[in-house]
């Protein structure tokens, strides 16, 4: 199993940082803190010092390396494409290897990865109750991302009474002439938003595709990566690759930007690629001609005013046009472009649990654009962003609902005009 690259393997790329400061205008943490150690070039300086033996993995350095969302915004804007997010992840693995896992990750890490991400049916329960984390399986990244401290006073969806795997069979037979797809669900679409996960599986089937939803798949590994737990990342990756192995798939679909970003980054760094092309659901639906189908539907007389939030791990992968094309074709909605649509929401792996106040402060930067848009709905392609957006919206007292783009597409295809 590949735990990820060692810091030494990034030596050449670390040397390519010319300290130009282009990253400053795009780092959500730096924009909030103004600290040089928070921005990419500051972290590259620290990484170079560690490599040269000029810096110890002391408390101050560990604090600075912890102040990163791994959003990739700095990489996308870097003229030399220095992979700061991967370098920070390597530093965190070194820190965890030297000092052990933090208190945030330690209690869960002992259990995470020891069971498949299936779990028993989650009966109705208050998401704020401690009982929740005895019901959600230990393999779920939700345990790492949303510990009790992070959940305090947070606006959260009601916990559904059935998980995604209780709603959708393992295989849906489609037209042999159409693609055969696999569904990578991830933790949030399995446990927090299974209604969205169900659309992710059933919409391609509606378009004629055969659909596999393997029961043995698990967490994508993003929370483990964020906490520096390289061995756990490798264990989860091996299980997920195995879950889709042996199936004749044209592609594997995701509807979580973080999951897609994590799986793609792990494959690039280690060479352990999924068994089929990894495709975001917006890209797939556009390929299948759904934009034209939506455009042909009669316009609703009363339409929603919808803004779109770009999840970091879609935006940095260049997936920005496809979601907007789908939303713009909806018969029940008018798409409005929101100012700063690409600003990070501030959730970021385990960042929201480790730094809840800073996470919310970063998220609050979205409020000006949301207010100015006049939207009553903000759509996104990442359940983590949706959770964070709804929290900042509710705390600000705005009458806006955060939803997944798939929910609006499903509404257009199944509900009569209103």
- Separation of alpha carbons 217 and 68, rounded Å: 28
66, 100, 134 - which closes a domain:
100
Of 42, 77, 100, the residue at which a domain comes to its end is 100
Q: What is the pLDDT of residue 151?
A: 53
Q: What pLDDT does 107 receive?
A: 45
Contact 278, 254 (CB under 8 A): yes
CATH of the domain at 330: 3.40.50
CATH classification of the domain holding 16: 1.10.1060.10
For 117-162, the DSSP string reads TT-----S--TTSTTHHHHS-TT-THHHHS-HHHHTT---PPPPSS
pLDDT at 354: 86
Domain contains 189 = no
pLDDT the model gives residue 210: 98
386 within a domain of the structure (yes/no): yes
Average pLDDT, 10 consecutive residues per value, the chain (418 residues):
82 95 94 91 95 94 94 95 95 92 57 39 36 48 50 71 94 97 94 95 98 94 89 91 95 97 92 91 98 97 97 97 98 97 91 90 97 98 95 95 98 94
User: Has residue 21 been placed in a domain?
Assistant: yes
Q: Please report how the helices 257-270 and 230-244 are oriented relative to each other, as an axis angle in degrees rounded to 10.
A: 100
**Domain span holding position 73:** 7-100
152 domain-assigned = no
Structurally, how many domains does the chain consist of?
Answer: 2
pTM over 0.85: yes
Measured at the CA of 267, the angle between CA 45 and CA 136, to 5 degrees, comes to 95
Helix (H, G, I), strand (E, B), or coil: what is residue 181?
strand
The length of the chain is 418
Indicate whether 81 belongs to any domain.
Answer: yes
302 falls within a domain: yes
In a domain, 86, yes or no: yes
pLDDT of residue 141: 54
- Domain boundary (68, 100, 132) is at 100
Q: Does 43 fall in a domain?
A: yes
> Which of these, 322, 253, 331, lies nearest to 287 by C-alpha position?
322
Task: Say whether 174 sits in a helix, a strand or coil.
Answer: coil
């Amino acid at each position: 199993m590949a735990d990820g690259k060692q810091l030494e393997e990034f030596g050449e790329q670390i040397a390519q940082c010319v300290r130009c400061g282009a990253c400053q205008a795009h780092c959500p943490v730096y924009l909030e803190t103004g600290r040089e150690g928070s921005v990419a070039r500051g972290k590259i300086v620290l990484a170079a010092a560690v490599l040269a033996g000029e810096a110890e993995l002391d408390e101050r350095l560990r604090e600075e390396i912890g102040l990163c969302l791994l959003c990739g915004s700095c990489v996308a804007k870097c003229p030399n494409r220095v992979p700061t997010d991967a370098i920070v992840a390597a530093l965190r693995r070194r820190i965890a290897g030297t000092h052990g896992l933090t208190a945030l990750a330690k209690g869960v890490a002992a259990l995470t990865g020891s069971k498949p991400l299936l779990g028993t049916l989650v009966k109705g329960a208050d998401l704020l109750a401690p009982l929740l984390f005895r019901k959600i399986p230990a393999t779920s990244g939700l345990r790492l991302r949303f510990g009790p401290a992070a959940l305090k006073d947070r606006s959260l969806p009601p916990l559904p009474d059935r998980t995604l795997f209780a709603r959708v069979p393992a295989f849906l037979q489609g037209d042999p002439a159409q693609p055969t797809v696999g569904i990578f669900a991830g933790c949030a679409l399995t446990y927090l938003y299974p209604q969205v996960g169900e659309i992710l599986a059933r919409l391609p089937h509606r378009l004629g595709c055969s659909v596999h939803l393997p029961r043995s798949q698990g967490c994508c590994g993003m929370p483990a990566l964020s906490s520096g737990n390289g061995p756990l990342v490798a264990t989860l990756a091996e299980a997920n690759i195995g879950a889709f192995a042996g199936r004749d798939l044209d592609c594997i679909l995701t509807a979580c930007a973080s999951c897609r970003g994590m799986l793609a980054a792990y494959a690039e760094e280690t060479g352990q690629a999924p068994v089929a092309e990894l495709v975001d659901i917006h890209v797939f639906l556009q390929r299948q001609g759904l934009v034209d189908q939506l455009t042909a539907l009669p316009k609703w007389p009363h339409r929603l005013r919808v803004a779109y939030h770009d999840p970091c791990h879609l935006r940095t992968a260049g997936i920005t046009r496809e979601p907007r094309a789908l939303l713009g074709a909806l018969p029940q909605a008018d798409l409005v472009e929101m100012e700063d649509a690409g600003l990070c929401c501030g959730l970021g792996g385990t960042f929201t649990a480790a730094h809840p106040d800073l996470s919310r402060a970063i998220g609050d930067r979205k409020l000006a654009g949301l207010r100015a848009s006049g939207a009553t709905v903000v759509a996104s392609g990442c359940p983590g962003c949706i959770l964070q957006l709804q929290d900042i919206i509710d705390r600000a007292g705005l009458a806006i609902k955060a939803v997944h783009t798939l929910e609006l597409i499903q509404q257009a295809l199944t509900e009569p005009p209103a």
